[in-house]
Amino acid sequence: MAIIEVVDLVKRYDEKVAVDGVSFTVDEGEIFGILGPNGAGKTTTVECVEGLRSPDGGTIRVDGLDPRRDRAELRTRLGVQLQQGELPDRIRVGEALDLYASFHRDPADWRELLDRLGLGDRLRTEYRHLSGGQKQRVSIALALVGRPRVAVLDELTTGLDPQARRDTWELVEQVRDSGVTVVLVTHFMEEAERLCDRLAVIDAGRVVAVDTPDGLVSGLDAQQTVRFRPTSPLDPDLLRDLPEVSAVEQRGSRFVVTGKGDLLHAVTSLLARNHVVAADLRVEQAGLDEAFIHLTGRTPSE
Ligand SMILES: Nc1ncnc2c1ncn2[C@@H]1O[C@H](COP(=O)(O)OP(=O)(O)OP(=O)(O)O)[C@@H](O)[C@H]1O
- Compute the distance from residue 18 Cα to the ligand 1 centre, in Å: 7
Cβ–ligand 1 contact at 135 (below 6 Å): no
- Compute the distance from residue 44 Cα to the ligand 1 centre, in Å: 6
Residue whose CA lies nearest to ligand 1 atom number 18: 41
DSSP the chain: -EEEEEEEEEEEETTEEEEEEEEEEEETT-EEEEE--TTSSHHHHHHHHTTSS--SEEEEEETTB-TTTTHHHHHHHEEEPPPTT-S-TT-BHHHHHHHHHHTSSS---HHHHHHHTT-TT-TTSBGGGS-HHHHHHHHHHHHHTT--SEEEEESTTTT--HHHHHHHHHHHHHHHHTT-EEEEEE--HHHHHHH-SEEEEEETTEEEEEE-HHHHHHTT---EEEEEEESS---HHHHHTSTTEEEEEEETTEEEEEESSSHHHHHHHHHHHTT-PEEEEEEE---HHHHHHHHHSSPPP-
- Look at residue 301 in the predicted model and tell me its pLDDT: 61
Cβ–ligand 1 contact at 37 (below 6 Å): no
Residue whose CA lies nearest to ligand 1 atom number 4: 13
- Compute the distance from residue 56 Cα to the ligand 1 centre, in Å: 15
Cβ–ligand 1 contact at 186 (below 6 Å): no
Quote the pTM value.
Answer: 0.82
Cβ–ligand 1 contact at 215 (below 6 Å): no
- Compute the distance from residue 266 Cα to the ligand 1 centre, in Å: 46
Instruction: Given CATH 3.30.300.210, say whether it is the number of domain 221-285.
Output: no
Residue whose CA lies nearest to ligand 1 atom number 7: 13
Overall fold of domain 2-212 = Rossmann fold (3.40.50)
Cβ–ligand 1 contact at 301 (below 6 Å): no
pLDDT, tens digit (0-9, with 9 covering 90-100), for 52-88: 999 999 999 999 999 999 998 998 899 988 766 678 9
Encode the chain (302 residues) as per-residue pLDDT tens digits.
899 999 999 999 998 999 999 999 999 999 999 999 889 999 999 999 999 999 999 999 999 999 999 998 998 899 988 766 678 999 999 999 999 999 888 899 999 889 888 889 999 999 999 988 888 889 989 998 999 999 999 888 877 788 888 888 888 898 899 899 999 999 888 899 999 999 999 999 999 999 999 888 887 777 889 999 999 999 999 999 999 999 999 999 999 999 988 899 999 999 999 999 999 999 988 788 888 888 888 776 64
- Look at residue 84 in the predicted model and tell me its pLDDT: 63
Per-domain residue ranges for the chain?
2-212, 221-285
pLDDT, tens digit (0-9, with 9 covering 90-100), for 188-204: 888 999 999 999 999 99
Can you tell me which atom of ligand 1 is nearest the CA of 43? 22
